[in-house]
Structure 1
Amino acid sequence: MSNSLCILLIDDSALFIHRIKQLLLERYHEVSIAVAGCYEDGITMFARKTPHVVFLDINLPDRNGIDLLIKIRGLNKQVKIAMLTNNDPGEYFETCMRLGADYYVEKSMGYDSITGITDEALESLVKQK
């Protein structure tokens, strides 16, 4: 495969980012991972990298992740977006899905779904070639 899967992680928790990066790098050999810790860096990195998958925290330090979901979805209809939360699992679910999220992951229980989402994105990328 000539183009590797590009994943953008947008989260202000260094520990969470470290765990997800480690999980993805151990499992996938051809993956590019970009990281942003806030809304502004997320927009910049999204424009620079054009990722296939975005894992996006709802609670960012400078602005709400739901605002960033709207912005990213407006820029790109094909990118897969997984919203991440530590909040009550149902609190933002309907809003996020209505606004264009493809997935909704509770951080404390979602490590298995991170690889499942990535697997789906990888399969989709292979089918497009």
Structure 2
Amino acid sequence: MCLTLIVEDNATFRRSLRELLFTRFPYMSIEEAVDGNEALHKVNAFTPDIVFMDIKLPGTNGLQLTKNIKQHYSDMIVVILTSHDLPEYREAAFRSGANYFMTKGMATSSDITALVASILSGKTADHGNGSGMMH
């Protein structure tokens, strides 16, 4: 079983991502958090394999949260999912320790499920496909 945490303050996007993941990966256990405090609590409580992280969150931003998570759980996979497709956000995401960066408006359902399938199979995702995904 794969444990996954979705850290996203937008309820509609969070619900859509949860439904997408559960439909494609029915064996996946999915938790949700709406802010940094709840996310840290859930990371410590159930140590997810994959964390989908928004950058703009109430309280602690997703980049600082990613940095904190990676300091304690270096093997945890963090996928930044954001509406802001700017080079400085990508660079900051990777400096914070994120493994992947995807842009909400550009990444399709297929891109997201392909990335998760790739992570679960232990392969590296292709980052040159123009989908807003980088490794």
Query: Between Structure 1 and Structure 2, how many residues are aligned?
Result: 121
CA distance in 2, matches of 1:21, 1:14: 10
Other structure's SS at 2:31 match: strand
Greater shift in the superposed pair: 15-24 or 79-88 = 79-88
| Mapped pair 1:11 → 2:13 | no
Q: Which has the higher contact order (CA 8 A, sep 6+)?
A: 1
| Mapped pair 1:45 → 2:42 | yes
Give the Å deviation of 1:64. 1.1
| TM-score of the pair, normalised by structure 1 | 0.88
Do 2:8 and 2:34's aligned partners in 1 also have CA atoms closer than 8 Å? yes
- Match runs of 1:13-32 below 5 Å: 13-32=10-29
Unaligned runs of 5+ in 2: 123-135
String of CA shifts for 1:13-72, please: whole Å, max 9, x gaps: 000011101101111121000100000000001011111100000000112111101100
- Match runs of 1:70-109 below 5 Å: 70-109=67-106
| Mapped pair 1:63 → 2:82 | no
Other structure's SS at 2:86 match: coil
| TM-score of the pair, normalised by structure 2 | 0.84
Other structure's SS at 1:30 match: coil
* CA RMSD, Structure 1 to Structure 2 (Å): 1.2
- 1:122 aligns with one of 113, 120, 123: 120
